[in-house]
Each structure stands twice: as C-alpha cells, then as structure tokens.
Amino acid sequence: MPKLSQWFIKSAVIYVILGMLMGITMGMKQDFTLAPAHAHLNLIGWVSLALMGFYYNAVPAKAEWRAAYAQFWISTVGVWVMIPGLILTLLVVPAGEPLVIVGSLITLIGMVLFAVNVYRR
C-alpha cells in the first residue's frame, strides 16, 4: 500500500473515533446542537479521506503525482479549520464563521486537487 494511502487512512480512523465519541456524547447529553459538526467530521474526515486513501491504494501511480502529498495536507488542514469553525458557529461564537468559510474553501480545494489527479493522464 502506498505511504500516501496509509496517511489518509491513519488520519481518517482518528477522525471517525473523534466523530463517534462526539455522537455518543450528544446522545448521553441529549443535546444535538453539534450534530452537523459530528456529521461533517465523519463524512469528510472519515468517509471522504478514507475513500481517497483507498483510491490511492487501488491506483498507486496516482500517489506518485508531485502534488499528491500537497493534496493530503490541504484536505487535512481543511478538516482542522472547518470542523472547529463549524463547532464554534453552532455554539454561536462569532469567531467560528470566518473559520468555517475558510475551512470549507480549503476542503473544496483539496477535493478539486484530488479530482485533478483522478482525471490526469
């Protein structure tokens, strides 16, 4: 398995553990305020990043692309900025909004870069 795949999958499992803990905490407290942040952490952090990891394992030549590691880091920073921003926004902390905007744009750039790699010859 390419190292890049391992990077994606190793970080994705951390996000899903955090996401599940968040889900369990919401259930225990019966407070679902953070449900959208839980959903995005799981669906971007776990599902999307793990899919990228499995893709790079299925098509290892794509992991050799010069920008492939940049794509990993851009997608990673996207999660790191967007999810805390979303949590703060849901908690009605004004500082959250710029973070969620910037984080979601970084996340989009990561996905566009991934798409470029997928379509590249």
Residues lying near ligand HEM in the complex (CB under 6 A) are found at: 16, 19-20, 23-24, 26-27, 32, 35-36, 38-39, 42-43, 46-47
In 3D space, the residue among 69, 59, 78 whose CA is nearest the CA of residue 118 turns out to be 59
Among candidate residues 75, 73, 84, the one with its CA nearest the CA of residue 105: 75
Name the minimum Å distance from CB 29 to ligand HEM: 9
CB of 28 to ligand HEM, least distance (A): 9
Distance (Å) of CA 102 to CA 13, 56, 64, 74, 96 = 24, 26, 28, 12, 10
Q: Which residue is nearest to ligand HEM (CB)?
A: 23
- Between CA 63 and CA 112 the distance in angstroms is 16
Q: Determine which helix (DSSP H) or strand (DSSP E) holds 118, and give its type and residue range.
A: helix 96-119
Give whichever of 17 and 105 is closer to ligand HEM, judged by the CB atom. Answer: 17
Q: Which is nearer to ligand HEM, 38 or 62 (CB)?
A: 38
Closer residue to ligand HEM (CB): 16 or 109: 16
Tokens 């952090």, located at residue: 45
Q: Which is nearer to ligand HEM, 2 or 20 (CB)?
A: 20
Least spacing, CB of residue 120 vs ligand HEM, in Å = 28
